[in-house]
């Protein structure tokens, strides 16, 4: 390549890069006036955050179609890396390591949820062994909440004590069963808008910190990937919803 050719080649690369950036910026503008936003979430986040965040986003961008898929953690990351999702909200750290960029949102810890008539409702201090001494309603195996319970039970060597009386396949199903049966359950504190369930008593577990499992929840993106205007706007909306609840 001649000296003139090298100069032209270097400038052509810069021009093409700027053209590509311009195309993306124009596409971003179009995505906020039309198009689709694809979000993947783990189960407990859906009840706590997503409905309000989606509602706020749709009010601001009514022509953007929003698709929300509830997925296991590993599948969510795979779909994100494959380009089938624009944004994920999942547990941290991710399984896919350096291929993902993460932004922490909040920490999930277990709480006991019970009707006011339950004998433990009169106690200010409740521990995991206290809860396991009574009939339990729990989410079925395969749910992240159930895994959080199993991890906490294992930390205290209480696997032989955990014998749920009833298993359900939805958070609302569990809470309705608690009301109907007078039993209690274990839920992540961030899984439900508890102010909407004022007829139930919610008590944090008072075990030593190292005796209970917890999970960090955050936004996950493809490392170095393009973040659309719609995805960035929705992510900001999720953080706003969480900030208002603090």
Which residues contact residue 78 at a Cβ distance below 8 angstroms, ignoring those fewer than 6 apart?
Answer: none
Report how far apart, in Å, the C-alpha atoms of 179 and of each of 44, 46, 235 are.
20, 22, 35
* Whole-number pLDDT of residue 151: 94
Dihedral sign for Cα atoms in the order 122, 128, 130, 135: positive
Report how far apart, in Å, the C-alpha atoms of 69 and of each of 9, 90, 207, 235 are.
44, 12, 34, 16
Strands 36-41 and 136-139: unpaired
- Report all structural domains of the chain as residue ranges with CATH numbers, in order of start: 3-106+216-245 (3.40.190.10), 108-214 (3.40.190.290)
Coil, helix or strand at residue 32: coil
* Whole-number pLDDT of residue 204: 94
Q: Which residue has the higher pLDDT, 165 or 96?
A: 165
pTM above 0.85, yes or no: no
In a 13 Å sphere around the CA of 210, the CA atoms on its Cβ side amount to: 0
Work out the number of other CB atoms within 10 angstroms of the CB of residue 68. 15
Q: Mind listing the pLDDT tens digit for each residue in 187-244? A: 988 778 788 899 999 999 999 999 999 988 999 999 888 788 899 999 999 999 888 7
Q: Which residue has the higher pLDDT, 214 or 23?
A: 214
- Categorize the per-residue pLDDT at 246 as very low, low, confident or very high, splitting at 50, 70 and 90: low
CA 45 to chain CA centroid, Å, is: 4
Please say whether the beta carbons of 116 and 201 come within 8 A: yes
Spatial separation of the C-alpha atoms in residues 116 and 129, rounded to whole Å: 20
Q: Which residue has the higher pLDDT, 131 or 74?
A: 131
Please say whether the beta carbons of 85 and 39 come within 8 A: yes
Average pLDDT over residues 73-83: 89
Burial degree of 9 (CB within 10 A; 0-12, 13-18, 19+): exposed
Burial degree of 187 (CB within 10 A; 0-12, 13-18, 19+): buried
Report how far apart, in Å, the C-alpha atoms of 151 and of each of 140, 148, 156 are.
15, 5, 9
Q: Which residue has the higher pLDDT, 16 or 202?
A: 202
* Ranges 13-17, 114-118, 157-161, 228-232: which has the least confidence: 13-17
Which residues contact residue 187 at a Cβ distance below 8 angstroms, ignoring those fewer than 6 apart?
Answer: 110, 111, 113, 145, 171, 174
Which residues contact residue 208 at a Cβ distance below 8 angstroms, ignoring those fewer than 6 apart?
Answer: none
Nearest residue to 73 via CA among 193, 170, 218, 185: 218
Share the mean pLDDT of the chain.
88
Q: Mind listing the pLDDT tens digit for each residue in 92-135? A: 876 667 889 999 998 889 999 999 999 999 998 999 999 999 99
Average pLDDT over residues 178-182: 96
């Amino acid at each position: 390549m001649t000296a003139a050719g090298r100069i032209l080649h270097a400038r052509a690369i810069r021009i093409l890069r700027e053209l590509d950036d311009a195309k993306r910026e124009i596409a971003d503008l179009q995505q906020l006036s039309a198009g689709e936003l694809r979000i993947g979430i783990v189960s407990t986040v859906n009840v706590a955050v997503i409905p309000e965040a989606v509602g706020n986003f749709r009010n601001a961008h009514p022509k953007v179609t929003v698709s929300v898929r509830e997925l296991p953690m590993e599948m969510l990351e795979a779909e994100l890396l494959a380009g089938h999702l624009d944004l994920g909200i999942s547990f941290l750290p991710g399984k896919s390591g350096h291929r993902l960029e993460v932004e922490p949102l909040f920490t999930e810890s277990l709480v006991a949820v019970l009707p006011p008539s339950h004998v433990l409702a009169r106690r200010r201090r409740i521990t995991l062994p206290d809860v396991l001494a009574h009939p339990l309603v729990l989410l079925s195996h395969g749910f992240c909440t159930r895994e959080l319970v199993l991890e906490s039970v294992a930390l205290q060597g209480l696997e032989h004590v955990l014998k749920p009386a009833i298993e359900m396949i939805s958070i609302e199903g569990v809470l309705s069963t608690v009301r109907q049966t007078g039993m209690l359950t274990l839920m992540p504190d961030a899984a439900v808008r508890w102010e909407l369930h004022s007829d139930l008593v919610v008590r944090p577990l008072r075990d030593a910190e190292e005796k209970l499992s917890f999970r960090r929840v955050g936004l996950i993106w493809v490392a170095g990937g393009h973040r659309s205007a719609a995805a960035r706007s929705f992510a900001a909306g999720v953080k706003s919803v969480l900030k208002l609840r603090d």
